[in-house]
Amino acid sequence: MKNKILIGTAGILAAFSIYSCKPKAPEDATTGDAASRVYVAPGKYDEFYNLVSGGFNGQLSVYGIPSGRLIKILPVFSVFPENGYGYSEETKPMLNTSHGFVPWDDLHHVAISTTKGEHDGRWVFANGNNTPRVARISLSSFRTEEILEIPNSGGNHSSPFITENTEYVIAGTRFSIPMGNKDVPISSYKENFKGSISFIKVDSSSGRMNIAFQLRTPGFNFDLSRAGKGPSHGWFFFSCYNTEQAYTLLEVNASQKDKDFIMAVNWKKAEEYIAQGKGTIEKANYAHNVYDDKKHSATSTILNEVKVLDITQFPDIVYFIPCPKSPHGTDVDPTGEYIVGSGKLAATMPVFSFTKIQNAIANKEFEGDFSGIPVIKYEAALHGEVKKPGLGPLHTEFDEKGNAYTSMFVSSEIVKWNVKTLEILDRVPTYYSIGHLSVPGGPTKKPHGKYVIAYNKITKDRYLPTGPELTQSAQLYDISGDKMQLLLDFPTTGEPHYAEAIPASLIQAKSLKIYKIEENEHPYAAKGEGQTKVERKGNEVHISMTAIRSHLTPDNIEGVNVGDDVFFHVTNIEQDWDVPHGFAVKGANNAEILIMPGETQTFKWKPLSSGVFPFYCTDFCSALHQEMSGYIRVSPAGSKTPLKFSTGKVENQESGAGK
């Protein structure tokens, strides 16, 4: 009895002690006036656009900062029934690959174009991680204009980071694979598996991408990368892991070595070799998809060769720098002098000096080689280490005052430190397990500063629960003072990986309002109701239709048979801001299409049964939107119902049925 009381008391005491040990509650973490600092009054604009990767939703989302409001989701690598991306005939080619139509991808990283290392607000690039692709999205139309598939890649993770003047977008393979789709045993990894890094040239006026050359590397994994800038312009830095060259249970087998590498690439040197005609042309099939906003259509071209430089043949292009334990982020500070390696399993965080790397190369301070590539001595390249930064460092962004902000996945925090002195200045918790983080302009030569945004992997108790599948989230911190201050949590769509924020002033004014109808070069455009028509070509029926508030022309169509392929080419002939029209047909095995003013989009429908099918405008456009509809009559296969179309024509009510 006495013992029981003792045990009970001890239990209560233990419970109290656990309670008292519990970390302070998250609600204590915000500052008192946080609400007013993120409040953007109705009708007012946010200060920054935040372009956030959607991860496994394959899309890019646009948020306003500081409010954290979701403004728009832009489809990139995934079909989007909401606006018909990947469903309309015009956009289907955008998702074409050498594997055929791939309707989904995993969009991890973004890169806003820069000129002289500073944001120019023209395009944002994004990577498709699964079926290797790079996309370019216009920051004027906010549409995906181009998608380039990456051959010889096993997963495009180390991408789409860009050089100072957007000369190149990079695409480094995550997984090494046998080149040329060779059928080899998996266990022949060391012998047969190779890595490849694609340098995608970007045309400075049109933005068009093409693979200038690929570097063929020894087989291991590439994680992330950043271009040099300022003094280090002309170099590119890649984090490498699995230098153990494991092909199974990587969790253990790729975590054995004390140090993996940061790979420094002298791409100017590589350019010289290419200019000298060095390198080999290899066969490779990959798709290049381009959207033309005059024809309002995409074309997909399958390319079949790529120029390759094997780095083991050109040893002065590439140098390895040892970096502790499976580095994830490799980030270059705004001055271009310092390169931060984030060994995600390491206890310290090395910061390398570009000057020291150059000296080490000049003085041949190498500790050996890896597959014939020189490995620079760790100390010779090192500026210094950030001691005890936190657990699981992943990514680093920079402000305009010489500070760095590193995300710590395991200890779930952001750590602020000084790039030169390596002194830790502040740390704040994130809720929970931050992955990427973003300071406006953080990867550029001229960070805009003011905020750091955390993109978290776990939300647990932060929002109203929605069953097992919870929202993902971002958190906004003020970094204008010495101490970081949590201001706001906001939920995100998909899974946010990397994101960039850019001042609205660089984009807002040039945002497109309408497509000019007179510039519409779509072959089936009806640029006025007088140009509407219905034509039969064999078993294809092409309907050139117009949409304007509040009617479709034609809205009565007859003469279509079961088994025909019916193409509704709908032109929105409005020339007014924010008046899209939509289009859908009952029973169509398709999504709707949304048509912007001045644009033509095509909805394909294969009627499977006879009858009269309504179609209508799906975007509430006007007071008489509910009236914006029509009928299409489908006769049994082989019928001779005459082709007929009209709008506003009333025939004898009795003459129709059964005749």
208 binds other proteins (CB under 8 A): no
625 binds other proteins (CB under 8 A): no
Q: Which range in 239-247, 366-374, 573-581, 639-647 contacts other proteins by CB under 8 A? A: 573-581
Tokens of 633: 């009559």
Q: Identify the residue among 548, 593, 595, 617 touching other proteins (CB under 8 A).
A: 548
Of 33 and 651, which has the nearer Cβ to other proteins? 651
Question: 389 Cβ partners below 8 Å, 6+ apart?
Answer: 348, 349, 406, 408, 415, 417, 424
Cα separation, 63 vs 52, whole angstroms: 7
Instruction: Give the chain's length.
Output: 659
Of 180 and 528, which has the nearer Cβ to other proteins? 528
Cα separation, 299 vs 135, whole angstroms: 14
Of 608 and 624, which has the nearer Cβ to other proteins? 624
Of 347 and 504, which has the nearer Cβ to other proteins? 504
Q: Could you give the C-alpha distances from 73 to 382, 475, 573, 603, in angstroms and in order?
A: 42, 19, 25, 22
**How many amino acids of this chain bind other proteins (CB under 8 A)?**
10
Cα separation, 572 vs 579, whole angstroms: 9
575 binds other proteins (CB under 8 A): yes
CB of 615 to other proteins, least distance (A): 20
Of 372 and 528, which has the nearer Cβ to other proteins? 528
Q: Which range in 110-118, 158-166, 497-505, 617-625 contacts other proteins by CB under 8 A? A: 617-625
Of 382 and 621, which has the nearer Cβ to other proteins? 621
Radius of gyration of the chain, Cα coordinates, nearest whole angstrom = 28
576 binds other proteins (CB under 8 A): yes
Q: Could you give the C-alpha distances from 592 to 113, 382, 529, 579, 604, in angstroms and in order?
A: 32, 56, 22, 16, 10
Q: Which range in 110-118, 262-270, 430-438, 572-580 contacts other proteins by CB under 8 A? A: 572-580
Of 335 and 575, which has the nearer Cβ to other proteins? 575
201 binds other proteins (CB under 8 A): no
**Three-state DSSP class for 627?**
helix
| DSSP structure class, residue 440 | T
Q: Which range in 177-185, 265-273, 411-419, 544-552 contacts other proteins by CB under 8 A? A: 544-552
Whether 595 and 547 have beta carbons less than 8 Å apart is answered as: yes
Positive or negative: CA dihedral 173, 179, 180, 186: negative
Cα separation, 15 vs 18, whole angstroms: 5
CB of 491 to other proteins, least distance (A): 30
Q: Identify the residue among 33, 292, 461, 627 touching other proteins (CB under 8 A).
A: 627
Of 411 and 575, which has the nearer Cβ to other proteins? 575
543 binds other proteins (CB under 8 A): no
CB of 630 to other proteins, least distance (A): 16
Whether 137 and 143 have beta carbons less than 8 Å apart is answered as: yes
Q: List, as one string, the DSSP characters of 3-40.
A: HHHHHHHHHHHHHHHHHHHSPPPGGGGB-TTHHHHH--
Q: What count of Cα atoms within 13 Å lies in the side-chain half-sphere of residue 312?
A: 11
If residue 190 lies in a helix (H) or strand (E), which one and from where to where? helix 189-192
Of 129 and 553, which has the nearer Cβ to other proteins? 553
624 binds other proteins (CB under 8 A): yes
Categorise residue 58: left if φ over 0, alpha if ψ from -120 to 50, beta otherwise: left
Of 559 and 597, which has the nearer Cβ to other proteins? 597
CB of 649 to other proteins, least distance (A): 14
Q: Which range in 216-224, 320-328, 442-450, 547-555 contacts other proteins by CB under 8 A? A: 547-555
Q: What is the largest CA-CA distance in the chain?
A: 101
Cα separation, 356 vs 376, whole angstroms: 10
574 binds other proteins (CB under 8 A): yes
CB of 573 to other proteins, least distance (A): 9
User: How far apart, in Å, do the first and last CA atoms of the chain sit?
Assistant: 98
Q: Identify the residue among 377, 462, 549, 625 touching other proteins (CB under 8 A).
A: 549
- What's CA 168's distance to the chain center, in Å? 17
Q: Which range in 25-33, 95-103, 215-223, 571-579 contacts other proteins by CB under 8 A? A: 571-579
Of 501 and 552, which has the nearer Cβ to other proteins? 552
Of 275 and 650, which has the nearer Cβ to other proteins? 650
Q: Which range in 109-117, 370-378, 569-577, 631-639 contacts other proteins by CB under 8 A? A: 569-577
CB of 465 to other proteins, least distance (A): 38
If residue 123 lies in a helix (H) or strand (E), which one and from where to where? strand 118-128
41 binds other proteins (CB under 8 A): no
Q: Identify the residue among 509, 623, 650, 657 touching other proteins (CB under 8 A).
A: 623
CA-wise closest residue to 307 among 289, 285, 283? 283
CB of 517 to other proteins, least distance (A): 10
CB of 555 to other proteins, least distance (A): 15
Sketch the per residue contact string, 496 through 535, with other proteins: x for CB under 8 A, - otherwise: ----------------------------------------
Of 250 and 514, which has the nearer Cβ to other proteins? 514
Cα separation, 655 vs 640, whole angstroms: 17
Helix, strand and coil in the chain, % to nearest 5: 15, 45, 40
CB of 251 to other proteins, least distance (A): 57
Q: Is the peptide bond before 66 cis (omega within 30 degrees of 0)?
A: yes
Residues interacting with other proteins, by CB under 8 A? 548-550, 574-576, 622-624, 627
